[in-house]
Structure 1
């Protein structure tokens, strides 16, 4: 297992490097990051522009710019100079990543719990009213774009707050600027309150597809020979369902969940933009606006690492869910 994990990590390194090279070229082709400075009226002195070009490494060739960025990252943990002189890319990514990861974590957790429960019940009670109901809601949330659902839910939250004359649902920001209860518990409840609507949006976006996979996988396993044999031996229905059926049915769901993490990160960008969160989504928009290659490559490097990590965890979970699977 250890050798397999090390091998997968080493294989991921060229993938990360290739993705950063591709993003570096795309950002460079998108335009000049100093365009906003050059278009000022009155225009800045030429010496100022040359100093900015030297600070950002724009006076070097593209291969040399990428090599210097890679060398600084590997040797010193430096993500490079940002277009905005006041920004430190490493600290910016760290603070914004925490905001996004707590949203993604709770969204995935809620989506998995709902998907497993409704998927199993739909499979056990196939063609029942419960099955048709969960199928309807699954297809409903699957067909709704994330940004549209986020705008719809935010509008509903604003409408509800106005009608009950109370700030029940937070619709702007990941936390309050000023707290009435400036204590540890006050900070926790404030952050949790701001997470309600965005977590519902992102959680239901993941749940919609996962519940269908769980149902289909459970139906296949329930009709398999080893489940029929377990029933013929007289084992209790709950034991057959949980130990023999659900455990094997979770393997396809594990694969789909790992693959959909990238889509959830993309959905998090849209959700954070709608609710005006200062997470990785805001950082992504800033890197596009500033045409900041270093910031964009740092953002991609962190996001790609998260996706690869989840895929590695999924591969390792296969051996836990099914003892017959062994990693050579």
Structure 2
């Protein structure tokens, strides 16, 4: 009952905030210029007729509050699932423009947000654990560098090196032996800094990574893997098994054999299912993939429940995560196996303009690759700044929590460092991080306006810019409504997360 009352109160406050902000946005938009400016300068013989038509369409003869009320009344029909967002000054219904624009922007922003949360929080935890190490100093420097990057300048660099030069290279992907050795050495240095430990451990990590990466690059070069890549069922199963062990170690520790066996059984069931479903996965659709994901989650939970014994809840949780990771690996393997056919259709795979290739003739996976490659550069651009912010806030929050008495008590009781970090420190450190994530989502939507402009995406940013330039309120208000509702929903999710993380907040 307390939770429902808490959520209802937050929804009511959010609605009032959205209503007041919409009034302010509408007034600012209609006073941003003259909607008839282009026609006043026209030399057309029917200039007056055109001005009269636009005046009628936009309702310019009505007072501003009447126009706002008409827009608000149309939007209120959304409660009856009959939304009316008005028409542009050219008489085009905003309802017909909004779905594609919103889908384009949300696809970009949601993906960037998820990447920023996962990577930023992980880096923040690692730097807090490895405070004042070389890894901490380098990460701090890079975080401040990325946080201060001008978006438009970084976008130009990404276009040059991530699109134009990559497209040139992928046409004939050659790596010199010196480049392979340097790549292996660079990744080895990064990994040994993350793993840490004594000098001997660092040298082992550096050497093994160097040999493995260099050998893999020589193999890829020999078999032309960069143009005809694939993982195969064996690699998918091995990678999923590694993920199962890692997730088990983080959640319960490897001493809990039932949870570990549940995760590994999930991998085996997933591998057998992949072999059986290969003909279906070769050319599926989104409904089939969604159904298979639901089935994978159901089977994972069943395996966790059967193996769990006294610890069914955590066994089901670990099995579900393992099943989800394996589903991602299977999808990744399918995309890689269709990379060669995608390159045949689109020799220069990463375009610098647009969110997809018009009239693209490929099948399902080729179409996914086309849209996915177009997501890479703007997603990286949006995610970099957020990763920098998330990592700094996570580090600060973790360091503050790890200095508390209850964390020192947990260590004094003899709990493992894993249990101290995951069960005691991280959960309490999540409360301020949740606030930052919610606000950052709204900031990302605002930043997407510039990013879409640079990369030529026809999303909400283009609609907002055009409406503002033409002093046309309906497109601008549609942008405000979608982004405002999304921001408010994220803040509502954050409030609910507070109540889950700390039950005292519910009161």
TM-score, with structure 1 as normaliser: 0.94
Alignment correspondent of 2:498: 318
Give the superposition deviation at 1:147. Answer: 2.2
| Contact 2:349 2:370 (8 Å CA) reproduced | no
Count of residues paired in the alignment:
325
Q: Take 1:17 and 1:261, find their aligned partners in 2: how far apart are those partners?
A: 20
Alignment correspondent of 1:161: 167
- The counterpart of 2:453, out of the listed 270, 273, 276, is 273
Deviates further, 101-110 or 157-166: 157-166
- The counterpart of 1:23, out of the listed 18, 22, 25, is 25
SS at match of 2:62: coil
Alignment correspondent of 1:290: 470
SS at match of 2:407: helix
Deviates further, 18-27 or 129-138: 18-27
| Contact 2:74 2:86 (8 Å CA) reproduced | yes
- The counterpart of 2:57, out of the listed 41, 55, 58, is 55
- The counterpart of 1:143, out of the listed 128, 134, 148, is 148
| Contact 2:74 2:85 (8 Å CA) reproduced | yes
Give the superposition deviation at 1:312. Answer: 0.6
SS at match of 1:144: coil
Q: Deviations over 1:261-282 (max 9, x none)?
A: 2211111111111110111111
Q: 1:225 to 1:104 in 2, by over 3 A?
A: same
Q: Take 2:429 and 2:116, find their aligned partners in 1: how far apart are those partners?
A: 16
Q: Return 5+ residue gaps in structure 2 as ranges.
A: 172-346
Q: Take 1:146 and 1:138, find their aligned partners in 2: how far apart are those partners?
A: 15
Give the superposition deviation at 1:7. Answer: 1.3
Q: Take 1:149 and 1:202, find their aligned partners in 2: how far apart are those partners?
A: 10
Q: 1:178 to 1:51 in 2, by over 3 A?
A: closer
1:216 paired to 2:396 = yes
SS at match of 2:87: coil
1:112 paired to 2:117 = yes
| Contact 2:39 2:50 (8 Å CA) reproduced | no
| Contact 1:4 1:327 (8 Å CA) reproduced | yes
- The counterpart of 1:195, out of the listed 361, 368, 375, is 375
Alignment correspondent of 2:37: 35
Q: Take 1:291 and 1:162, find their aligned partners in 2: how far apart are those partners?
A: 42
Give the superposition deviation at 1:45. Answer: 4.8
SS at match of 1:155: helix
Alignment correspondent of 1:327: 506
Report the aligned-residue RMSD: 1.6
- The counterpart of 2:479, out of the listed 299, 306, 328, is 299
Q: Take 2:148 and 2:473, find their aligned partners in 1: how far apart are those partners?
A: 34
- The counterpart of 2:94, out of the listed 68, 71, 89, is 89
Structure with larger Rg: 2
Deviates further, 121-130 or 162-171: 162-171
Q: Take 1:114 and 1:297, find their aligned partners in 2: how far apart are those partners?
A: 33
Deviates further, 41-50 or 244-253: 41-50
Q: Deviations over 1:29-81 (max 9, x none)?
A: 12222322333222425344223212211111111111122122213521122
Alignment correspondent of 1:78: 84
| Contact 1:272 1:279 (8 Å CA) reproduced | yes
SS at match of 2:504: coil
Give the superposition deviation at 1:159. Answer: 3.1
Q: Take 2:156 and 2:472, find their aligned partners in 1: how far apart are those partners?
A: 28
Give the superposition deviation at 1:151. Answer: 2.0
Give the superposition deviation at 1:317. Answer: 0.6
SS at match of 1:178: coil
Q: Take 1:43 and 1:63, find their aligned partners in 2: how far apart are those partners?
A: 33
Give the superposition deviation at 1:168. Answer: 4.2
SS at match of 1:173: coil
